[in-house]
């Protein structure tokens, strides 16, 4: 658009013309109301001052963010990170790291001294409703087996509640091999897949609508065997069925007969296995980790991977599974500072208040206090520094077991720079292979669990249900599992002037006896985390 003004035949100086032009440009700013109607007209100079909002803003934002270069967070512990990068070498020695654990004199021992026997008459049917994630459900299932034995009752295949965090509705038969479960335990307890027709009314929906006489909702955490005999057995005798909800952690780890403890061990370490398609996919991914092929890698994720006879000629690679427990719920619940700046702090605080309404008890402590006590989960960068200090180098094959990392690729960029041979489900499995488990958190966790059980070394970024379950399962099989010394690492990372050599020495010395050595279970501790001496015999 051209601006015209009348010059009355006079020649205006150039400076005056410039001032007049400037005033014209400033009018929309000084008098916005006068020019606001024009801002919505056809494209003009005014549209630069009040640009229209894009109609498809979400698509536009995604398109702008879709760049080849991935956003990265600056390493929080930059001096250590820089030293760790410099010490990485493609042919670095990792002496001792891959050496299997020595024979510690313990063997799996899950059979009771008494011959297994079923009661002549079942007292009735036990139903349990389990919440939580995969590993909480595993523990609850095995406890339900023990409760059924205590009561001489028939166990109905446990009902798995919809996961409130991941919204996963997978059932027992979707995750576990139900026929194997029943067959392994058939001499110990009676198990049915469904209630008989006469009890078909006893459903999850039935108990959700009102208080029912057949529902037990007062079972204390870590209840004794006697509590079940006193409170649940009478319900079974009166109605023939009892539904225990909630049930998680409702059976003690102490003062139980050894035959009951051994039955729990048998259930968790022998009876509970995943469905065949999870085991088959897990075996394929383990094979790809042990026998990486440039041909397979060139195919990309859209092609089905094939295991060839070349595996027989290759020397198998060793690999580490890292359970990177760094999702949004964990980050918010910990109340720690993870270096994401003010925006991240506000976002986590808002999420924490929305989900837990201020019930995060450790939020009253400072980040420094929490870290010095070992109560802050390790970030991907920090777990990478731990692995580097222990001697793992950039030739280490690392499998990332994690559902979703808070902060996405930007959060794990430092870890990927330290360990470029890092894989996960998406990079190893084809789109077709992933289709059956896509969006199902329990099956994704089951696949990670299976691969973790077949790795040379397992390490978790912070204590949690999966860490505890795998620590116990791998102890049972005498497999190497690194248990991070959280208090030590918290204090080391607080020391901003620590040198790499001092950090490395402290890490190595602090983890000498935290790599899978047998630790006998103490009172109140879980047999699923510490299987000796309940599930193992000293020979």
pLDDT tens string 419-448: 999 999 999 999 999 999 998 999 999 999
Residues 525, 453 within the same domain: yes
The label of the residue with tokens 């992933």 reads 434
Q: Measured between alpha carbons, how far is residue 279 from residues 31, 276, 367, 394, 469 in Å?
A: 71, 5, 41, 29, 18
On the question of pLDDT at 315 being above 70, the answer is: yes
Cis peptide before 246 (omega within 30 of 0): yes
- Picking from 148, 293, 172, the residue whose alpha carbon sits closest to that of residue 225 is 148
Distance, CA of 507 to CA of 499 (rounded, Å): 12
Q: Are 241 and 269 in contact (CB under 8 A)?
A: no
Nearest to 289 by CA among 387, 91, 473, 428: 428
Please give the Cα distance from 539 to 534 (Å, whole number).
14
Say whether both 496 and 523 belong to one domain.
yes
Say if residue 349 is in the same domain as residue 487: yes
Whether the pLDDT of residue 32 is over 80: the answer is no
Residue 190: pLDDT over 70 = yes
Residues 6 or more apart whose CB falls under 8 angstroms from that of 489 comprise 374, 378, 382, 386, 507, 510
Q: How far apart are CA 375 and CA 380, in angstroms?
A: 16
Assess whether pLDDT exceeds 80 at residue 112.
no
- Same-domain pairing of 258 and 284: no
Three-state SS at 275 = coil
DSSP state of 158: P
pLDDT at residue 324 tops 50: yes
pLDDT averaged over every residue in the chain = 82
The whole-angstrom separation of Cα 380 and Cα 186 is 44
Please state which of the ranges 45-49, 97-101, 207-211, 442-446 shows the lowest mean pLDDT: 45-49
Between CA 249 and CA 130 the distance in angstroms is 10
CA 97: distance to chain centroid? 25
Give the whole-number percent of the chain exceeding pLDDT 90. Answer: 58
Residue 190, number of CB atoms within 10 A of its CB: 16
Domain extent, residue 266, equals 125-273
Instruction: Work out the pLDDT band at 275, boundaries 50, 70, 90.
Output: very high
Tokens 């523990």 belong to residue: 139
**How much is the pLDDT for 361?**
58
* CB-count burial class (<10 Å; 0-12, 13-18, 19+) for 513: exposed
DSSP classification of residue 271? I
383 & 524 share domain: yes
Query: Do both 83 and 144 map to the same domain?
Result: no
Alpha helices in 272-407 (DSSP H): 276-290, 294-299, 328-334, 341-356, 367-372, 380-390
Residues 153-168 have pLDDT tens digits of: 999 999 999 877 678 8
The helix, strand and coil proportions of the chain, stated in percent and rounded to the nearest 5, come to 45, 10, 45
Of the CA atoms within 13 Å of residue 239, those in its CB half-sphere come to 18
Surface-to-core class of residue 282, CB atoms within 10 Å of its CB (0-12 exposed, 13-18 middle, 19+ buried): buried
- Among candidates 395, 403, 394, which has minimal Cα distance to 424? 403
Mean pLDDT of 310-321: 79
Checking if the pLDDT of 320 tops 80, the result is: yes
Structurally, how many domains does the chain consist of?
A: 2
Same domain assignment for residues 283 and 228: no
Work out whether strand 397-401 and strand 319-323 pair parallel, antiparallel, or are unpaired.
Answer: parallel
User: Within a domain: residue 163?
Assistant: yes
**Six-digit token pair at 421?**
């041979």
| 103: its two tokens | 């024979």
**456 domain-assigned:** yes
Q: CA angle 396-424-529, nearest 5°?
A: 85
**Residues 180 and 168 both lie in one domain:** yes
Q: Answer whether residue 243 is part of any domain.
A: yes
pLDDT at 98 over 80: yes
Look up residue 287 and give its two tokens: 């094979």
Tokens of 87: 């010490």
Mean pLDDT of all residues in 298-318: 55
Q: Is the per-residue pLDDT at 4 higher than 70?
A: no
Residues 159 and 83 in one domain: no
d(CA 503, CA 387): 12
Whether residues 78 and 137 fall in one domain: no
Residues shown for the chain: 539
Distances (CA, A) of 160 to 208, 245, 301: 14, 11, 32
Stated pTM of the model: 0.81
**φ, ψ at 242 (rounded to 5°):** -140, 130
Q: How far apart are CA 444 and CA 130, in angstroms?
A: 19
213 compared with 407, residue with greater pLDDT: 213
Q: 384 and 512: one domain?
A: yes
pLDDT (0 to 100) of residue 47? 29
Write down the H helix ranges in 14-117.
Answer: 14-30, 32-35, 57-65, 78-87
CATH code where residue 269 lies: 3.40.50
CA distance 8 to 16: 15
Q: Tell whether 440 is covered by a domain.
A: yes
Q: Which of 273, 302, 332 is the last residue of a domain?
A: 273
**Rounded to 5 degrees, what angle do the CA atoms 471, 287, 84 make?**
60
Whether residue 485 is contained in a domain is answered as yes
Distance CA 464, CA 466 (A): 6
pLDDT of 76 reads: 80
What is the rounded average pLDDT of the residues 261-288? 97
**63 domain-assigned:** no
Cα 437 to the center of its chain, rounded Å: 16
Residue 257 lies in a domain: yes
How far is 493 from 367, CA to CA, in rounded Å? Answer: 12
Q: Could you tell me if residue 13 is inside a domain?
A: no
* Integer Cα distance of 250 and 400 in angstroms: 32
Residue in the block written with tokens 């950039």 = 394
Question: Domain check: are 403 and 456 in the same one?
Answer: yes
Higher pLDDT, 414 or 312: 414
């Amino acid at each position: 658009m051209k601006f015209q003004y009348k010059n009355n035949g006079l020649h205006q100086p150039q400076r005056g013309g410039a001032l007049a032009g400037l005033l014209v440009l400033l009018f929309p700013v000084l008098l916005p109301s006068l020019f606001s109607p024009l801002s919505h007209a056809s494209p003009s100079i005014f549209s630069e001052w009040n640009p229209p909002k894009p109609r498809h803003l979400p698509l536009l934002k995604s398109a702008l963010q879709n760049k080849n270069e991935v956003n990265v967070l600056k390493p929080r512990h930059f001096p250590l990170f820089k030293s760790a990068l410099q010490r990485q070498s493609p042919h670095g020695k990792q002496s001792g790291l891959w050496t299997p654990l020595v024979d510690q004199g313990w063997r799996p021992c899950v059979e009771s001294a008494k011959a297994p026997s079923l009661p002549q008459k079942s007292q009735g049917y036990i139903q349990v409703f389990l919440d939580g994630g995969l590993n909480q459900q595993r523990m609850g299932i095995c406890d339900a087996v023990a409760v059924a034995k205590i009561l001489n009752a028939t166990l109905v295949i446990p009902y798995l509640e919809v996961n409130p965090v991941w919204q996963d509705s997978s059932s027992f038969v979707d995750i576990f091999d139900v026929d194997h479960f029943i067959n392994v335990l058939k001499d110990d307890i009676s198990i049915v897949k469904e209630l008989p027709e006469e009890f078909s009314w006893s459903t999850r929906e039935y108990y959700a609508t009102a208080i029912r006489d057949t529902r037990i909702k007062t079972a204390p955490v870590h209840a004794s065997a006697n509590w079940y005999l006193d409170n649940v057995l009478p319900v079974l005798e009166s109605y023939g069925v009892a539904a225990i909800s909630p049930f998680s952690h409702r059976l003690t780890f102490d003062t139980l007969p050894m035959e009951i403890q051994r039955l729990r061990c048998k259930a968790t370490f022998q009876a509970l296995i995943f469905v065949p398609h999870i085991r088959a996919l897990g075996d394929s991914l383990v094979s790809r980790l042990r026998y990486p092929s440039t041909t397979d890698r060139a195919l990309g994720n859209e092609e089905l991977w094939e295991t060839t006879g070349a595996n027989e000629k290759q020397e198998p690679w060793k690999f580490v599974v890292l359970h990177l427990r760094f999702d949004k719920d964990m980050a918010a619940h910990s109340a720690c500072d993870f270096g994401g700046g003010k925006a991240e702090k506000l976002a986590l605080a808002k999420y924490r208040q929305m989900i837990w309404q201020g019930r995060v008890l450790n939020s009253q402590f400072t980040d420094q206090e929490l870290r010095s006590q070992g109560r802050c989960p390790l970030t991907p960068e920090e777990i990478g520094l731990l692995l580097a200090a222990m001697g793992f180098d950039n030739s280490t094959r690392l499998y990332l077991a994690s559902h979703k990392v808070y902060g996405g690729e930007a959060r794990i960029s430092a870890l990927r720079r330290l360990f470029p041979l890092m894989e996960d489900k998406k990079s190893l499995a084809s789109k077709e292979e992933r289709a059956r488990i896509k969006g199902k958190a329990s099956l994704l966790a089951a696949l990670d669990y299976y691969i973790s059980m077949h790795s040379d070394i397992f390490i978790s970024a912070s204590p949690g249900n999966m860490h505890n379950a795998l620590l116990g399962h791998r102890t049972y099989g005498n497999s190497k599992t690194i248990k991070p010394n959280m208090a030590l690492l918290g204090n080391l990372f607080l020391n901003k002037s620590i040198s790499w050599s001092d950090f490395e020495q402290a890490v190595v010395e602090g983890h000498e006896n935290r790599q899978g050595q047998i630790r006998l279970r103490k009172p109140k501790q879980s047999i699923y985390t510490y299987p000796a001496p309940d599930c193992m015999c000293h020979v």
